[in-house]
Amino acid sequence: QVQLVESGGGLVQPGGSLRLSCVGSGRIFTLWRWYRQAPGRQRELVAVIHSGGITNYADSVKGRFTISRDNAKNSVYLQMNSLKPEDTAVYYCNGEYLSVNTWGQGTQVTVSE
């Protein structure tokens, strides 16, 4: 069974940090993405990491978020620093292999006092 399992979400104060993890099983993923969806808004792409390690970020998170991968563990991570209330959302990891996408179940991140 192909699946992605996320962890690391939670409640954090503004300015704080969280690290999200996503572990894949059943398939080796070559391209990883993190998306997020806030209440009443469309899902948006946050960060991408390609098989060669090249990364891309949404303008809203550049300089604050870092995506990384561990190929040996078939995993991707999202280090989130200097968190803001507008970062509150459900975060989803997405793994791609030969144009087939697999989604995780999502993990809630809430940034609030």
pLDDT digits over 55-79, tens only?
A: 999 999 999 999 999 999 999 999 9
Contact between 67 and 32 under an 8 Å Cβ cutoff? The reply is yes
Q: Which two tokens stand for residue 34?
A: 């993190």
Please give the structure tokens belonging to residue 67.
């995506």
| CA distances for 75 relative to 38, 83, 113, angstroms | 24, 23, 31
Q: Which of 75, 69, 43, 70 is nearest to 58 (CA)?
A: 43
List beta partners, residue 6: 22
Band of the pLDDT at 15, cuts 50, 70, 90?
Answer: very high
The closest alpha carbon to 49, from 25, 26, 65, 27, belongs to 65
Tell me if residue 99 falls in helix, strand or coil. Answer: coil
Please determine, for residue 51, whether its predicted confidence score (pLDDT) is greater than 90.
Answer: no
